[in-house]
Structure 1
Amino acid sequence: MKKIAIVIFIILGCNIFIGKAQERGFQISGKIDGILEGTLFLMSDEKGKLEVLDTTSIMNGAFVFTGKVERPLSAYIMVPNSKNYIPLILENVNFMLNIGKTGVLIKGGEQQDILNQFSKINIDLLEGQNRIQEEFKQAQQKGDKKKMQILQKQLENVLENALQQEKMLLQKYSSSYAAAYVIFHEMKQLEEKFLIDKYMLLTKAAQETVPGRIIKTYIEEWECLTEGNVAPDFTLFSSTGDSLSLYPLKGKLKLIHFWSCEDIACSQENVELLDLYQRYHLKGLEVIGVFVGNDKQKWMKTLIEDGMIWIHGFDENHRVADLYHVKKLPTIILLDAENQIIAKNLFGKDLQRKIGEFLKKSK
Structure 2
Amino acid sequence: MRLKKWWSILLLFPTMAIAQDKFTISGNISSVEGQKMVVLSYLDNHGKEMRDTSLLHGGKFSFNGFTAYANRAHLALEPLKRDTTRRRVYDVKEFYLAKGNYTVTGSDGKMSAAEISGTQVQEEFKEYRSKMDPVTNAWIKLTDEYSEAVKEKDSLTIQKLRKEAPGLRQKLDDTMNGFIYSHPDSYLSVDLVYFYRTGTIEPATFDPLFNALNPALLQSFTGKKLVTTYDNAKQLFAGKTVDFTQMDEEGKPFKLSSLRGQYVLVDFWASWCKPCRAENPNLLKAYQDLKDQNFTIVSVSLDESKAGWLYAVKQDGLPWKQVCNMTGFKTGIAVDYGISAIPQNVLVDPDGKVVAKNLRGENLTEQVKKYIK
- Partner residue, 2:366: 350
Is structure 2 residue 61 aligned with structure 1 residue 51? no
Residue 112 of structure 1, CA deviation: 0.9
Cα separation, 1, equivalents of 2:255 and 2:34: 50
Alignment partner, residue 7 of structure 2: none
Partner Cα distance (1:103, 1:131) in 2: 21
Whether the aligned pair in 2 keeps the contact of 1:258 and 1:329 (CA below 8 Å) is: yes
Once the two structures are superposed, the pairs formed by residues 1-363 of structure 1 within 5 Å of their partners are: 25-30=22-27, 36-37=35-36, 40=39, 42-44=41-43, 51-58=48-55, 63-69=61-67, 72-77=69-74, 79=76, 82=90, 86-96=94-104, 98=106, 100=110, 103-138=113-148, 141=152, 143=154, 145=156, 147-189=157-199, 191-192=201-202, 193-206=204-217, 211-212=222-223, 214-231=225-242, 233=244, 235=246, 238-242=248-252, 244=253, 246-247=255-256, 249-253=258-262, 254-263=264-273, 265-267=275-277, 269-271=279-281, 273-274=283-284, 287-309=297-319, 310-318=321-329, 319=331, 320-326=333-339, 329-336=342-349, 339-347=352-360, 348-350=364-366, 353=369, 357-358=372-373
> What's the TM-score, normalizing by structure 2?
0.69
Cα distance in 2, alignment partners of residues 169 and 273 from structure 1: 37
- Equivalences, count: 329
Structure-2 residue corresponding to 1:16: none
Greater Cα shift, 50-59 or 179-188: 50-59
Query: What is the one-letter code of the residue matched to 1:67?
Result: G
Shift of 1:239: 2.9
Distance 2:298 2:354 in 1: 14
* 1:74, distance to aligned residue in structure 2 (A): 0.8
**How many angstroms apart in 2 are the aligned matches of 1:259 and 1:352?**
18
5+ unaligned residues in a row in structure 2: which ranges? Answer: 1-19, 79-87
Aligned-partner Cα distance in 2 for 1:156–1:343: 24
The answer to whether the Cα contact below 8 Å between 1:26 and 1:92 also exists between their aligned partners in 2 is yes
Structure whose CA Rg is larger: 2
| Amino acid of the structure 1 residue aligned with 2:119 | G
Q: Is the 8 A contact 2:268 2:345 kept in 1?
A: yes
Tell me, in whole angstroms, the C-alpha distance in 1 between the residues paired with 2:24 and 2:300: 46
What is the CA-CA distance between 1:183 and the residue it aligns to?
2.4
Q: Give structure 1 stretches of 5+ with no counterpart.
A: 1-22, 359-363
Determine the structure 2 residue equivalent to 1:5.
Answer: none
Quote the Cα distance in structure 2 between the aligned partners of 1:353 and 1:46: 52
Which secondary structure state, in structure 2, belongs to the residue aligned with residue 25 of structure 1? strand
Sequence identity, in percent? 17
Distance 1:45 1:195 in 2: 29
- Structure 2 residue identity aligned to 1:44: L
Q: Which amino acid aligns with 1:308?
A: L
